[in-house]
Amino acid sequence: MTRLTLQPGNTSLEQLEQLYRSGAPAVLDDSARAGVDAAADQVAHAVQGTEAVYGVNTGFGKLASVKIQPHDTETLQRNLILSHCSGVGDAIPTAIARLMMALKLLSLGRGASGVRWLVIEQIQDMLAKGVTPVVPAQGSVGASGDLAPLAHMAAAMLGEGHAELNGATLPAGEALSKAGLKPIVLGAKEGLALINGTQFSTAFALAGYFEAQRNAEAAIVASALSTDAVMGSTAPLQPEIHALRGHRGQIDVAAAIRDLMQGSEIRESHRDGDTRVQDPY
């Protein structure tokens, strides 16, 4: 299966649809590494400093004024993830979960989240090995991010929760082990970076778009076949008619149906001598 190389800020819908439909593994372009490493170095410096930096050496929400000591950093990030694993309902489709992971790669790869490269490698390796976090369909989404769904994704990276591997749902730690991977330990800010984002809702929006696009294409083919089957006229598809309305979608659909009917023997069989003024509607 062809591996997709994604470039943050320059990834096409076509690439994302290929990943969604084929289940292809994805990796970030090497050009993203320098920015990611630089941001991680800044976070590491902040951990050792005296200045309060939210989510790095402080608590969260109402606990933002609570100072976190460097030796508690890993525990803070782990607790953040596990405390937000509160989703309910059936698991989302595997294709959408993998798309969510790829979108998170693109977000982290911009070099503004402060995560270490090993966090990105864990997502890439899970995509490559077919380890897909089990993410409940219902959970908090919105302003601060898709917190609960993304927490379930991140938990699997830590070996917590559940993950799918080869069609079977397993404890995440077991799935990672069977795939030859190990759980990671999150450093400063990394838990926050993983759950602050809208990759869950964006993945669903993209999947909806991809399916709507495919359904629209199928409807165009069905329209052309139906028109031909009833020996309908192509006169209503003339470009001049649709140019008057000025709707881009209408113009494109009419052109697509015209192209599909071009050269139809059925259409040619009744082009001349047809006494109908126009098709009934």
Phi, psi of 171 (to 5 degrees): -55, 140
Q: How far apart are CA 252 and CA 275, in angstroms?
A: 29
Q: What residue spans of the chain are helical by DSSP H?
A: 13-22, 33-48, 73-83, 94-108, 117-129, 147-157, 172-178, 190-195, 199-229, 239-245, 248-261, 265-269
Among 48, 3, 9, which Cα is nearest to 26's? Answer: 3
Q: How far apart are CA 17 and CA 217, in angstroms?
A: 15
Q: How far apart are CA 117 and CA 33, in angstroms?
A: 7
| Element spanning 89, H or E | strand 88-91
Please answer whether residues 98 and 1 qualify as being in contact, where contact means their C-beta atoms are separated by less than 8 angstroms. no
User: Residue 281 catalytic?
Assistant: no
Question: 20, 54, 209, 281: which one is catalytic?
Answer: 54
Among 141, 132, 98, which Cα is nearest to 6's? Answer: 98
Residues listed for the chain: 281
Q: How far apart are CA 260 and CA 221, in angstroms?
A: 7
Cα distances (angstroms) measured from residue 277 to each of 21, 130, 233, 235, 274? 45, 59, 10, 11, 8
> What are the residue numbers of the active site?
54
